[in-house]
């Protein structure tokens, strides 16, 4: 629960979604669905996640799948935090 809230907060902040992010839940689609969510945004979000949580993301892990939905991204963060 906590992780998904943090992930939504980071998405909102980095993509400057404002109020729109308050509607987000695990099923919200990201990459290819939100206009702001282009490849530059992927990089910014990964950077913010790394800085906030203190883990390192490998290139191989940056895939379209991970960024498919808010839920997928949160699961990814949880996996990183557990490893």
Partner 1 sequence: MTPPEAAPPPEPYFIDGPAGPLFAIYHPPSTAVADGGDLIYVPPFAEELNRTRRMAALQVRALAKAGVGALIVDLYGTGDSGGDFRDARWETWLGDIAAAAGWLDSRGRRRIGLWGLRVGALLAATAAADDPKRYNRVILWQPAISGERALTQFLRVRVAAGMGAGNDGETTKDLRARFADGAGDSLEVAGYEVPPQLAAAIDGARIGPLGSALGMPVDWFEVVSESGRPPAPASRKVWEEWRNGGVPLTTATVVGEPFWNTQEIAVAPALIEATSALFGPAEP
Residue reference for tokens 């991970």 = 66
Q: Which one of 19-27, 28-36, 73-81 is the stretch in contact with partner 1 (CB under 8 A)?
A: 28-36
Residue reference for tokens 């379209």 = 64
42 interacts with partner 1 by CB under 8 A: yes
52 interacts with partner 1 by CB under 8 A: yes
Task: Please say whether the beta carbons of 10 and 47 come within 8 A.
Answer: no
26 interacts with partner 1 by CB under 8 A: no
Binding-site member from 1, 27, 59, 82 for partner 1 (CB under 8 A): 59
Task: Please say whether the beta carbons of 44 and 36 come within 8 A.
Answer: no
Which tokens hold the place of 49? Answer: 């996640």
Residues 83, 12: Cα–Cα separation, whole Å: 26
Residues that bind partner 1 (CB under 8 A): 9-10, 13-16, 31-32, 36, 38-44, 46-48, 50-52, 54, 56, 59-60, 62-64, 67
């Amino acid at each position: 629960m906590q992780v998904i809230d943090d992930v939504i907060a980071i998405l909102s902040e980095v993509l400057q979604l404002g109020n729109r992010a308050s509607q987000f839940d695990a099923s919200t689609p990201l990459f290819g669905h939100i206009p702001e969510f282009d490849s530059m945004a992927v990089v910014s979000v990964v950077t913010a996640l790394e800085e906030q949580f203190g883990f390192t993301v490998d290139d191989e892990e940056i895939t379209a799948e991970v960024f498919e939905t808010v839920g997928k991204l949160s699961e990814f963060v949880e996996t990183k935090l557990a490893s």
